[in-house]
Amino acid sequence: MLNEPLRPAPAVGIIIPAAGFGSRMGASIPKQFLVLAGEPVLVHTLRVFLEHPAVYTVVVVLPLEHLGSGSEQLLSCLNPILHQKLVFTPGGATRQQSVRNGLQALPASIKRILVHDGARPLVTAEIIDRCLQGIDQHGAVIAAIPVKDTLKEVQHDMILRTVNREQLWQAQTPQGMERPLLEQAYRCADLTQFIGTDEAALLEHAGIPVTVVMGSEQNIKLTRPDDLRLAAKLLPQENRTTIMRIGHGFDAHRLVAGRKLILGGQEIPYHLGLDGHSDADVLVHALMDAILGALGEGDIGRHFPDSDEQYRGADSLQLLAHVMQLVRTHKMRLVNADITVICQQPKLAPYMPAMQNALCALCATEQINIKATTTEKMGYTGRGEGISTHAVVLLEQSTLNA
């Protein structure tokens, strides 16, 4: 009837599986937390969905070990008004299990679902709209693009045949469906112990038709380092201002008997250790001072005074974690750090990779360079009386212009 009021469209729920690590990216942290244009990749992905008017809830599926810190980092980057739409839940051993965990976390009122890769930050509102329209018309859809390159079937580096590409499409996300269809697909997979590579495969296995809607050449999934560089070029830059801050830190501690030698969070076998109120990790102390200097937050003496007993024997990596929380509070990120340890003995080269890996993971950055040098037996470090460290850091803040 002409005068019949329009019914509101059913609420839409989004599941963002982001529980993998992305080993092919070669980074020391999960690829969804790598920085793209000043923000974690996952923030770019989430913002598109959170700002879409049809979206009611966005469930972010994170690795269990990153659930707390990861959710805090994401929330600190997003407009607080959008926080009410967000739900965080731990992932599973497979994508299929992670998406199921996300499905279980969605409110029962959600009847239309989109599943989207956390590492596809260039999705657009237009692609989302096409998927939602496709769900209304067909029940289940997948964003995809036609294959345009010639395809070869290869075995042992030899071409067996040229594959006809006329009916071949390259799958993307979002992949959308009515909720009962996805639940039906999971029941079928449970009965047959089927593991699919994506939601469309689950639906196909259950005999549920899936329709293709047009994706985009730019809707790439970040898999390798070159993908991250390409995405940075494809992101709109005209509305973005980058603020950069440099900080320098220096620290020195005396070598004494009866103490462990801790540098960069690693215990170094040596007959002497560094003397101090905490674990006296001179490398981490210099790094913290450099970061605090870039933030304009004073020095480590202000934040962790040696007059406070709670810091006696403290693990400096835990203190660094507190400093990195300040970095996130300032809505900044550590771009890179260059650290020089001045030490006559012991030899530190065998322990530097472990130091760098631990610090990169804790600071959510890809590049912390550590090098060691001597003073050719001159001065207190040359005489083996102590160890000193210089650190220089670059912090970056990327903000959107009004």
The full set of domains in the chain, from first to last, is: 12-234 (3.90.550.10), 241-400 (3.30.1330.50)
Residue type, 272: L
Average pLDDT, 10 consecutive residues per value, the chain (402 residues)? 49 93 78 84 94 95 92 90 94 95 95 96 95 96 95 93 92 97 97 95 97 96 88 69 87 94 94 92 97 94 88 91 90 92 94 91 89 94 95 79 35
The pLDDT of residue 87? 96
Q: Terminus-to-terminus CA distance in the chain, angstroms? A: 44
SS (H, E, C) the chain: CCCCCCCCCCCEEEEEECCCCCHHHCCCCCHHHCEECCEEHHHHHHHHHHCCCCEEEEEEEECHHHHHHHHHHHHHHCCHHHHHHEEEEECCCCHHHHHHHHHHHCCCCCCEEEECCCCCCCCCHHHHHHHHHHHHHHCEEEEEEECCCCEEEEECCEEEEEECCCCCEEEEEEEEEEHHHHHHHHHHHHHHCCCCCCHHHHHHHCCCCCEEEECCCCCCCCCCHHHHHHHHHHCCCCCEEEEEEEEEEEEEEEEECCCCEEECCEEECCCCEECCCCCCCHHHHHHHHHHHHHHCCCCHHHHCCCCCHHHCCCCHHHHHHHHHHHHHHCCCEEEEEEEEEECCCCCCHHHHHHHHHHHHHHHCCCCEEEEEECCCCCHHHHCCCEEEEEEEEEEEEEEECC
pTM of the full predicted structure? 0.64
In the chain, the largest separation of any two C-alpha atoms, in whole Å, equals 94
The pLDDT of residue 243? 81
The pLDDT of residue 229? 83
The pLDDT of residue 246? 96
The pLDDT of residue 241? 55
Model confidence over 42-79: pLDDT tens digits?
999 999 999 999 999 999 999 999 899 999 999 988 98
Model confidence over 240-288: pLDDT tens digits?
557 889 999 999 999 999 999 999 999 999 999 999 999 999 999 999 9
> What is the rounded distance in angstroms from the CA atom of residue 300 to the CA atom of residue 295?
12
Task: Record the tokens describing residue 118, joined without a space.
Answer: 């956390």
Of the candidates 265, 239, 247, the residue with the CA atom closest to the CA atom of residue 330: 247
Is residue 28 within 8 Å of 366, Cβ to Cβ? yes
The pLDDT of residue 7? 47
